[in-house]
Structure 1
Amino acid sequence: MNSEPVPAPSGAAEPDDAEVGRRFAAGDEQALALAYERWAGQLHGMAVRAFGPGPDAEDVTQQTFISAWTGRARYRPEQGPLPAWLVGVCRHKIADAWARRDRMRREAEAAVSEAQATPAGGTTPPVDSVVTDRMLVLEELERLGQPQRGIIELAFFADLTHAQISERTGIPLGTVKSHIRRTLERLRTRLEVDGAALPA
């Protein structure tokens, strides 16, 4: 009698969602890959609805899986399915991203308001040119669609180089440069109307 084990068929079924959840909680990296394969599209769709297609949505999707994996000890398979838990993590990441945007906007608005106020001595406090530039960029972003908006945010707020933006977004370097150049030209026009000018 042949006692050798029978190999599993090559088309063996993949683990179901519940098994993926249990293995994910146990730290199985293959389960992380399976979770990404099965649910990244759903989470990316949530992020796109919040920010539009582009780098912001992609970053939120990646941050969701990074946060979920590093915080997997908080996931309890017996309390609910893994995709539902991932959706909760994604909602937190979306909220965090909106909070960062709002905080930057408030800080810029406050700095501009303070700079425009003239004290009793009659002298105007110096304007922080970086904050002023960011305020103008924030206003301009309201007029932009994607991918231009994502490119400008990465350039001004993440301080990435043109090459880094191209690498992160997959957009050709020449296209990245042209989007940034056109936006800066619009900003220069706005500043000139206000009696100021961007440095050359």
Structure 2
Amino acid sequence: MTEPRVRPDPAFALLELYETALPEVFGYLLSRCGNRTIAEELTSETFLGAVSACRKEYAPPVSTGWLIGVARHKLADHWRRKEREERGLRLVHEGEPDVTDPWDAQVDALRARQVLETLGAHHQAALTLRYVDGLGVPEVAAHLGRSVHATEALLVRARAAFRRAYEEKEGRDV
């Protein structure tokens, strides 16, 4: 009688990668959310989610790049949760922005980070995925669970909100 073959747990590959991937995943999340506590929570969620995902029958090979992809999804989920919470706490009424006015000012990176943190979660998510991660509008739409047209409109509103807040902050800092 032959002994049954046991498939090794694919999570062991993740465990081997953990030491080298942890700083990269954490750094990725911290640079995008700007909050150490949130980045730590999201890093934890990323690795827990990765354990579940790598155990699925047709899971891709475990790598640092794959973990960064999982982290990107966890960050988008975080922004969606934050947006729902904010929406539940207050009613937001935004006018349509004037898109005919070009904005050619130089953007200071530190001020931009501070301004980005003051925006709503949905604007933070859209702007970060589009301009920090460099994703195209269809990819941003997929991450946010929106249509391409809705994402384009969101990006227009987010850029206008960012510009207003940036210029307001610039006026206060002078």
TM-score range, shorter chain: 0.3 to 0.5
Instruction: Work out which structure has the larger RCO, using CA pairs closer than 8 Å and 6 or more positions apart in sequence.
Output: 2
TM-score by length of 2: 0.44
TM-score by length of 1: 0.39
Rg bigger for which structure?
Answer: 1
